[in-house]
Amino acid sequence: MERKSYDWFEQRRKTRGLELAHDQITKAFDTVTWLHKATKSFSEKNFKEAQKYIDNLYKTEEGVDQLRTDVFMELSKGAALVADYREDLLHLVKRLDTLADHTKDAARCLEMLSGAEIPQELCEKTVFMTGKLVETAQTLRNSIEKISSNPTEAINEAKKVGEIEHAIDDEYLKTKSLFVKYGVDMNCGAMVIFDDLVEFIEQAADMCADTADYILILSSRE
């Protein structure tokens, strides 16, 4: 994935901690993209391709975990950062790590469902939700990039995150309502796992919205 520049971090990248945080944020967002690709392949019953994307997600998430640890250790050394900014950075790192955790959990569910007979309508709902999750994550990325260079635009982008997250919530409820329609025909175990899948997708979206709320505070400071 292309390594992007985050203006807010570039101003303070005099320490290794900030460099590590940059990588961690990029990888956290990458997990969302892999999840969407996996759900799309799953919907098309291309389980082999879906597994490839799931494996990529797992590897990326492992990198997120390692970078989170490295960031915490680096910042604990008393690097030349103002205390407030160090705390801000830690909060972002924690939230994005949790985002990656939720996408990993969703991928695990998808992996367990490989080969299971899932109604196409439910598969399509999942693809729509993960597509919106990608949109949410990208909007969040744009917001983070503009915290320092254009705080007003960062605030606008952060507000968009909440709007997209509401669309995911609506689709989440519609998907849940379909369980009544398909519950009789679906394998009980598959139904439980699929229920977990949509729960984790919705939780990932919630984490994006939570991070966006925090960015509103950061942008207001700038």
pLDDT (tens digit per residue) in 39-86: 999 999 999 999 999 999 999 998 887 777 777 777 776 545 556 666
Mean pLDDT, the chain, rounded, equals: 85
Query: Model pTM?
Result: 0.85
| DSSP label of 3 | P
Query: What is the structure's pLDDT at 17?
Result: 59
The residue assigned the tokens 């175990």 is 189
Segment 133-160, tens digit of pLDDT: 999 999 988 887 787 778 888 888 888 9
- Chain segment 170-196, per-residue pLDDT in tens: 999 999 999 999 988 899 999 999 999
Q: How confident is the model at residue 115 (pLDDT cuts 50, 70, 90)?
A: confident
9-23, 29-43, 117-131, 142-156: which range is least confident on average?
A: 9-23
Of 182, 149, 194, 146, the closest CA to residue 42 belongs to 194
pLDDT at 2 over 50: no
Give the mean pLDDT of 27-41.
95
The domain defined by 13-221 folds into Methane Monooxygenase Hydroxylase; Chain G, domain 1 (1.20.58)
- pLDDT of amino acid 19: 64
Whole-number Cα distances in Å, 39 to 49, 88, 144, 176: 10, 33, 27, 17
Nearest-5° angle of CA 68, CA 73, CA 76? 125
Place of tokens 């605030």: 155
Write out the two tokens for 152.
């007003």
